[in-house]
Structure 1
Amino acid sequence: MYNLLLVDDEPDVRQRLMNGMNWSDQGFNVVDTAENGLEAIERIERYRPELVITDISMPFMNGLELSDWIRVEYPATRIVLLTGYDEFEFAKRAIKLDVDEFILKPFSMEEIVQALVRVKQRIEAEERRFEDVKMLREHYRTSLPVLRETFLASLLSRKMSHSQIVEQARTYEVALDGTGYAVSVINLQHYDEQLKEGNNHGLNSQSSSLQISGDLNLQLFAILNIAGELWSKRKMGRVFLHQDHIVLLSISRTSDQSNSILRHTITLLQELLLQIDRLLKLKVTIGLGDPISRLDELREAYDGAMQAIEYRLLEESNRIIYIGDVEMRAYNRLRFNKMKEQELVRCLKLGAVAKVKEVVYELFNELIEAEVPYRDYKMYIVEILTSVLKAARETDAYLEDIHGALGNVFLEIEAQETLSAARDWLTAICTNLTETVMLNRKQSFGQFVQQAMEYVHTHFADRELSINQVCNYLHISVGYFSSIFKKETTVTFVTYLINIRMEAAKELLSTTDLKAFEIAERVAFADPNYFSFTFKKHIGISPKEYRNRIAKEWSTGT
């Protein structure tokens, strides 16, 4: 059963609609009625109906204005417009608002029933699409063999000996025996643009459901399924997720391992690109590292594939980038882990103190495992610190206020005589910064709401004042502001604005001789009749009765 709201300023039309059919037989429950668009807004916020049937021509706020508000605040709500013949041009405008149906007056109840059937079918179809996405997400959560995936990921993030890898592969029953290996990485870098494209096309396929979901994990899982089936069918190796990327491990069992594994991997990757584009309509870039002959070299091969991905901005999208084609073969050197850098910055901005410490320790563990003299680590530490400074600048938490003057930062690095000392020094900087970010976030909610309330008190007499205007002033989104404002004040922004205007009207009625229409103008009501209507609705009596009551209280001294 879906909730429905009827909006029409004519009582006989509302009565005819209410009594003209058994709404429950059509799968709808009429939760309430409203006389105009402004009343409808209050009802919609209270009941959250799935469908609104509204007339176009109404006082105070017409049906098109109401539809525009619904599309901003409750975009999933379905809309049916009722219109007279002389309003047909208005009805054509409704198409731009994505209105589901519009029905010409005078109408028959059969026309209403037919419209309800169509709207109900659309609602049910949308629910089925979201159910498909939900089921796919649940399948994703339960189907991955966690232990095997963890082991495979560890091959790319930890330094392990060949014997350790062979032993653990046997434990987890992962077949890794081979004469040559290659590592490829799939990067889904254009999914935001594909989401926009998906909204402009049909939404009947699974690929469209993936696009409208905007769920990167779900999109990656769909690609993972296709790649896994292809790799399994050709007996090429393993496919798994690692740090928001899909990793394809190719295994060769022929004697000519180097040329064979590279040639076969590229051929298979080309086929995979075609399938992803045809089945999912998603654009990806695939990085391919140099072929290797030993399992304990997998981390280096993975780094090469990730390095190839970095060239995606210089290359066309939806293609394979082989590191050997874009770079000279790199000699062994210490490289800053870009994935860890991104994780460190993300944790700093989120205020995750414990996780920041963990990431810093992991970065330094890589330094220790590299086994090179400490003097060679200094530029690596500078790169880590640069990421910290970027995060500090973006969160307005300046490092000077937390851990001394930046002018001495290189001297401080030089002063650290051991890796453990450098690690503790950098951990202290990151911890203090993260705690500052966390404190700022807790204070920001109340500050935003307080600034909004002050802005309303200053500008309530402006007829153009709206939630969009306030959000532009605060530089935050309407959805985010609505959430924190309701959380902090327990009322919606619209209700709060009306309350402020009513309090101002009471003050003017009590302290001035201004007429009602003059007071209406001063509190941003263009229509005196609607001002009186709103005042009585919120205060309980009309403006004239309120002024008389105040005058009587003054005369009697009460």
Structure 2
Amino acid sequence: MDTYTVLLADDEEEVIKAIRRKINWEGLGFSVIGFANNGVKALEMVEEFQPDVVLTDIKMPYMDGMELAKRIKAEFTTTKILFLTGFDEFEYAKEAVHLEVEEYILKPVNSTELINVFTQLKIKLDQEISEKRNAAVLQKYYMDSLPFLQANFYSTLIEGRLREEEIPRYLSNYQISFEGPFYCCLVVHTSSSQVPENMNPLLLAASVQKQAREHLGEKWQAKCFSYLENTVLIAQLQSKNEVPELTDECDRFCRYARRIIGAVVTVGIGQVCERLTGLSQSYSSAREAVSYRVIYGVSRAINMKEIAPHEISKPDGTPDTELFSLFGMIRLNSKEDIVGAVKRYMKHISCPAQSLQQYHIALMDLISALYRFAVNNDIDVPDFAGNIRNLYLRLLDLEPEALLAWLIGICLLFRETLISARSKSTQSFVFKAKEYVGSHYSDEEFSLDNICEILGVSNSYFSTVFKKETGNSFIGYLTEYRMDRASRMLIETNEKSYIIAKNVGYTDPNYFSYVFKRRFGVSPSKYRMEHGSCEK
């Protein structure tokens, strides 16, 4: 039996205590994850825990229940909302039908009514999840997914096997609409090693594909199909600036998939292109982004442009599989893996079946590919700074063991340079974010969305990197910075608390006091008394 999580939100502590005391939550199939005494705190807890149900009062400080419900429905569409209302608020609350609230419960709270409400809600939640997990439904969807001709066209498109002049004919024959004007490939990878008990991996992947179509397909006019054991979506964008928003939505989808159907999902976001023929490049970079889950973790979206702006896949000018594998190793793997890949490549080009001329051509291909890789990734290598012809002649004279040692050294140098570049890139925008906080902390509208828009990255990626680099969330850092500035102002100036609150970005002095006390354990006035005041 599934157990669902509940968040209680009410500024009257006695009401919360009564609800927790009177209801046998476990017996009803629910668990209370916590409670909030104001709307702002409730929203913070929803973002952190993503509860299945929120039972909230309408009248609360800092953010009322109506606004809280709007925010929850906008960002967490599957969360159920129940309103606690006074009699005089009931008619007003009923008018908010567009919020899709499950139930309105009149105060004072009646335990029998609450039990009935949550009993019915449990049945509804069970039915919804049962539909998502029902093996027969998933099997039918898996067998009857996208029509063969459309799926085959999409696959051919991302493989780069269509000429531009051929595409309009296929679009017309298969009744496919691509309006763009920009396109982006998403690769949705479902782990086959982390599968819920008694669940067939193929059915789980089909469920993920169905949910991806529902959550991402409509807004982004995405074409969804299966390809090489992954789900691929071709999203359509109005502007390149929409990519951070797309990344955040994909990130929320990954967490949703894990919470609702138990799937471990990673979404790779490829580079944006303006022509359908560019989708092969976009798909290649999206697939590469998925491979970065070994570095950035699973159950999240990974945007190739964000994590490695200079590492987006580009054609290497050679069909050699071992060379392609080697470059993949340089980006992602350990020194030992790279050494092994170099040895396999050298064995490939030095096999006895090759003629001397074939060996010379392979060596030229290798130097060209290494040179392009270095240029594309802004890697400065002394060997490539001079005349490439001289380098080729020098390598041509090397014995196999010496050439092997040279190639290993170059590849390891590439690896270290990329690692250093990624580290500097993340440190750079964390530094910029801190610097921006220092000059804009007094702006009451300043938020996580603002800083991500300024830096041009998605919320999910920025939040992950900022916490990794600083040990704190961005909102936590901003709040602490504001509180530290406020504490200094309390000691060093004669300004009233409400003036100081405004100076550090808080228009509501009561909420400022609440946050200050949470940070320092005492109110602003008491803090000033304890640490010395400039007032006479």
Candidates 408, 411, 414, aligned match of 2:390: 411
What does residue range 106-125 of structure 1 map to in structure 2 within 5 Å? 112-117=114-119, 119-121=121-123
Secondary structure of the 1:29 match is strand
Aligned-pair distance for 1:338?
Answer: 4.7
Provide the rounded CA distance (Å) in 2 between the counterparts of 1:33 and 1:311. Answer: 50
Query: 1:439-470: CA deviations, max 9, x gaps?
Result: 44455555554443333222211222222223
Which letter maps to 2:392? I
Q: CA deviation at 1:213?
A: 8.0
**SS, match of residue 532 in structure 1:** helix
Q: Is 2:485 the partner of 1:499?
A: no
- Is the CA contact (8 Å cut-off) linking 2:185 and 2:279 kept in structure 1? no
Q: Select 2:451's aligned residue among 431, 456, 470.
A: 470
- Judge which range, 505-514 or 56-65, deviates more: 56-65
**1:146-545 alignment to 2 at 5 Å?**
208-211=206-209, 220=228, 336-350=318-332, 352-369=334-351, 371-393=353-375, 396-398=377-379, 401-417=380-396, 420=400, 422-442=403-423, 446-545=427-526
Provide the rounded CA distance (Å) in 1 between the counterparts of 2:497 and 2:382.
61
Which moved further from structure 2: 22-31 or 500-509?
Answer: 22-31
Instruction: Check the 8 A contact 1:349/1:391 in 2, yes or no.
Output: no
Distance 2:415 2:61 in 1: 53
Q: CA deviation at 1:514?
A: 1.9
* Deviations 1:370-406, CA, capped at 9 Å, x for gaps: 7344344444444444444454455x441xx333344
Deviation at 1:524, TM superposition (A): 0.6
- 8 Å contact from structure 2 (residues 84, 104) kept in 1: yes
Distance 1:429 1:211 in 2: 41
Paired residue type of 2:440: H
* Partner residue of 2:40 out of 34, 38, 41: 38
Q: 1:484–1:493: structure 2 CA closer, same or farther, 3 Å change rule?
A: same
Partners of 2:340 and 2:389 lie apart in 1 by 24
User: What amino acid maps onto 1:211 in structure 2?
Assistant: Q
Which amino acid in 1 is paired with 2:324? Q
Secondary structure of 1:535's counterpart equals helix
**2:91 equivalent among 85, 90, 105:** 85
Query: Which entry has the higher C-alpha Rg, 1 or 2?
Result: 1
> Normalization by structure 1: what TM-score?
0.55
SS in 2 for 1:5: strand
Secondary structure of 1:404 counterpart: helix
Asked if structure 2 preserves the Cα contact closer than 8 Å seen for 1:91 and 1:102, the reply is no
In structure 1, the residue corresponding to 2:63 is in which secondary structure?
coil
Report the alpha carbon displacement of residue 507 of structure 1 after superposing the two structures with TM: 1.4
What is the rounded CA distance, in whole Å, between the counterparts of 1:369 and 1:362 in structure 2? 11
Q: How large is the Cα RMSD of the aligned pairs?
A: 4.6
Which residue of the other structure, out of 11, 14, 21, is the alignment partner of 2:23? 21
Q: Which amino acid aligns with 2:464?
A: S
Q: How far did residue 336 of structure 1 move?
A: 3.9
Alignment coverage as a number of residue pairs: 381
Q: Using the TM superposition, give the Cα deviation of residue 76 of structure 1 relative to its aligned residue in structure 2, in angstroms.
A: 7.1
Deviation at 1:424, TM superposition (A): 4.3
Q: CA deviation at 1:6?
A: 0.4
**AA at the equivalent of 1:409:** I
1:56: how far off? Answer: 4.5
Residue 544 of structure 1 and its aligned partner are, at CA, apart by: 2.5
Measured in 1, the distance between the counterparts of 2:375 and 2:105 equals: 58
Residue by residue over 1:488-534, the C-alpha shift from the partner in whole angstroms, topping out at 9 and shown as x without a partner, is 44433322222111111111122222222221111111112221222
Alignment-derived partner of residue 146 in structure 1 = none
Taking a change above 3 Å as real, the CA distance of residues 383 and 115 of structure 1, as seen in their structure-2 partners, is: farther
The AA in structure 1 aligned to 2:36 is A
SS at match of 1:54: strand
CA deviations 1:5-27 (Å, max 9, x no partner) are 20123556545534553323212
Unaligned runs of 5+ in 2: 139-154, 160-183, 190-202, 213-223, 232-276, 281-316
CA distance 1:10–1:552, shift in 2 (3 Å): closer
Distance 2:157 2:82 in 1: 39
CA gap of 1:449–1:75, structure 2 versus 1, over 3 A, is farther
Q: Tell me the residue number matched to 1:145.
A: none
Cα distance between partner residues in 1 of 2:132 and 2:363: 46
Q: Which has the higher helix share?
A: 1
Aligned-partner residue type, residue 416 of structure 1: L
Residues in 2 aligned to 1:496 and 1:213: alpha-carbon distance in whole angstroms? 35
Q: Within 2, Cα distance between the matches of 1:122 and 1:188? A: 42
